[in-house]
Copies of this chain bind each other. A is one copy, B any other.
Amino acid sequence: MKMTFSALDTSESSFTPLVVIELAQDVKEETKEWLKNRIIAKKKDGDNNDDFLTMAECQFIIKHELENLRAKDEKMIPGYPQAKLYPGKSLLRRLLTSGIVIQVFPLHDSEALKKLEDTWYTRFAFKYQPIDSIRGYFGETIALYFGFLEYFTFALIPMAVIGLPYYLFVWEDYDKYVIFASFNLIWSTVILEVWKRGCANMTYRWGTLLMKRKFEEPRPGFHGVLGINSITGKEEPLYPSYKRQLRIYLVSLPFVCLCLYFSLYVMMIYFDMEVWALGLHENSESEWTSVLLYVPSIIYAIVIEIMNRLYRYAAEFLTSWENHRLESAYQNHLILKVLVFNFLNCFASLFYIAFVLKDMKLLRQSLATLLITSQILNQIMESFLPYWLQRKHGVRVKRKLQALKADIDAALYEQVILEKEMGTYLGTFDDYLELFLQFGYVSLFSCVYPLAAAFAVLNNFTEVNSDALKMCRVFKRPFSEPSANIGVWQLAFETMSVISVVTNCALIGMSPQVNSVFPESKADLILIVVAVEHALLALKFILAFAIPDKPRHIQMKLARLEFESLEALKQQQMKLVTENLKEEPKESGKEKAT
């Protein structure tokens, strides 16, 4: 048999399987036996947690317990002398790195999933997502992503609604434009601040708002020479910091710069193509050549997507090779690398068109093509393609199973076979990145192309559904992760909105309508634009500072919680003092003597 299910070994009747451990095909019997004993030994005092914990939380706990199965006196994995162990080493990590365990994943609960899908995306209607049910099934991190996606979509609606008439009627009216751009700026600040409050609201309800970062263990991929950790005093692999710095500054940094240069090089090729297409169109003004005008942008958009995806793999490889000890450091370095490249790759051509070529018509056309193409590509690549592959695979498995006529619990067996071949959801990184780039397209050049927000809203309404489909049907169920907020993405979105203030002010200052007001003195115009920009930036920071991060009623509840815990502490201390006083008389003589 290809697999061992410890779940199938149990004899309880109403047993709901939660997590699957897939072992390699040729694992030795003694290894299986040892692993089973180690897991059972740990889980002997099992809890009864039907209602107390959500299913996602149970699976998170199982994952945590599995990752914390640690070597005691074993020197190696039984049956695999080459898979060395030392006291404290996580067994699961060694099993995974030795290729004995192929993967560990939680199972879907088809009944709960069906219920979730019904309220979530199958019946098409304009309604809120069942965020609390999503949290119950997938955990806080994924629920927060869907919460943010929904919030962001609704927040874009006013921009889309206000942008439409600008596109349809008053395209060339600069004074109304300034109003639109100012609204846009303040709006983008306010939505980010209000999100913080909404997020605090949600995570307070879920109990993760005050979640403390747990003490971090080294990440699975971290390797080094065995030594004594000066913090924990335990033996673990150590890797000198200067070596990591050398790798970062001598290899990663030059590589990233090279990639950025390559991206700019590709951009210049795109501009050559533009010139060529324009020349062709001007020579023979036909229907056919006017369509051709859009071809370079579409090709460039596709190339950008491909480059982003390729770079993503390279960045992951490099950051992993930098050998960071902590998962958080790894994530920070990865996100920084990816964000810088993606930002330049997606927006460099637009900045070049706007501020070097100063061709607003081309900017509008290029922005529209990039935005729409990347949205279509993303929807296809992310959801429908995997869904189609998945369906095909599902049919194949079912046919095979019917031929087998397996005598064990067929439904469960079929489910495991089906799900183990599903793709693995790699976290919310790519989803947030997509929203981040979309936010860039919408906000950076919003005053040139006010329709962008409308397209983004349209895309996001389908994105909610395709992402939901992806989570429920395309990927293996991911392990849930608790989280208190969207973390570094809040900072990324805020930075983007600062950059958008600068670019929008510059665009308005460059518009011929504004220039015609100051025909003789360009310097005065620039001074006024710069003054307005500084005022807007100052307003932005004051707003960000003045709007409290937590709504008042959450603040009150937290204050109450703090007060109650302090009171409890006080009472406990009083009790201790009283007990000490009772005991003291016996020892008072002794005390005085010392």
Contacts and interface: CB of A to CB of B under 8 A. Distances in A.
Interface stretch (A178-186, A288-296, A554-562): A554-562
A492 to B, nearest CB: 12
Contact of A563 (B231, B522, B566): B231
Nearest to A229: B563
B560 A231 contact: yes
Nearest to A577: B45
Nearest to A584: B45
A502 B531 CA distance: 11
A556 B523 contact: no
Given A215-B566, A231-B560, A526-B530, 13 more contacts: A45-B581, A215-B559, A215-B563, A230-B560, A231-B556, A231-B559, A522-B522, A523-B523, A523-B525, A523-B526, A526-B526, A526-B527, A530-B530
Interface string A552-575: 000010011011001000000000
A448 B155 CA distance: 47
Interface string A213-242: 001000000000000001110000000000
Nearest to A530: B530
A36 interface: no
Interface string A339-379: 00000000000000000000000000000000000000000
A386 to B, nearest CB: 37
A231 B525 CA distance: 55
Nearest to A232: B563
Contacts of A527: 526
A232 B581 CA distance: 29
A215 B562 contact: yes
A525 B522 CA distance: 11
23 contacts: A45-B581, A215-B559, A215-B562, A215-B563, A215-B566, A230-B556, A230-B560, A231-B556, A231-B559, A231-B560, A231-B563, A232-B560, A232-B563, A502-B534, A522-B522, A522-B523, A523-B523, A523-B525, A523-B526, A526-B526, A526-B527, A526-B530, A530-B530
Interface string A110-144: 00000000000000000000000000000000000
Contacts of A559: 215, 231
Nearest to A523: B522
Contacts of A526: 523, 526-527, 530
Contacts of A522: 522-523
Contacts of A231: 556, 559-560, 563
A358 B562 CA distance: 56
A356 B472 CA distance: 65
A88 to B, nearest CB: 13
Interface in A508-539: 522-523, 525-527, 530, 534
A566 B214 CA distance: 9
A106 to B, nearest CB: 26
Contacts of A45: 581
A60 to B, nearest CB: 19
Contacts of A530: 526, 530
Contacts of A581: 45
A562 B45 CA distance: 28
A232 B565 CA distance: 11
A126 to B, nearest CB: 36
A581 B44 CA distance: 12
Contacts of A556: 230-231
A522 B559 CA distance: 57
A523 B232 CA distance: 61
A231 B530 CA distance: 47
A326 to B, nearest CB: 10
A478 B559 CA distance: 30
A168 to B, nearest CB: 34
A89 B538 CA distance: 44
Interface in A38-56: 45
Nearest to A566: B215
Contacts of A232: 560, 563
Nearest to A555: B231
Interface string A140-151: 000000000000
A526 B527 CA distance: 8
A563 B213 CA distance: 12
Nearest to A491: B545
Nearest to A502: B534
A106 B352 CA distance: 68
The 3 closest A-B pairs by CB, nearest first: A522-B523, A231-B560, A526-B526
A502 to B, nearest CB: 7
Nearest to A214: B566
A368 to B, nearest CB: 28
A17 to B, nearest CB: 24
Contacts of A562: 215
A491 to B, nearest CB: 9
Nearest to A230: B556
Interface in A198-216: 215
Nearest to A591: B48
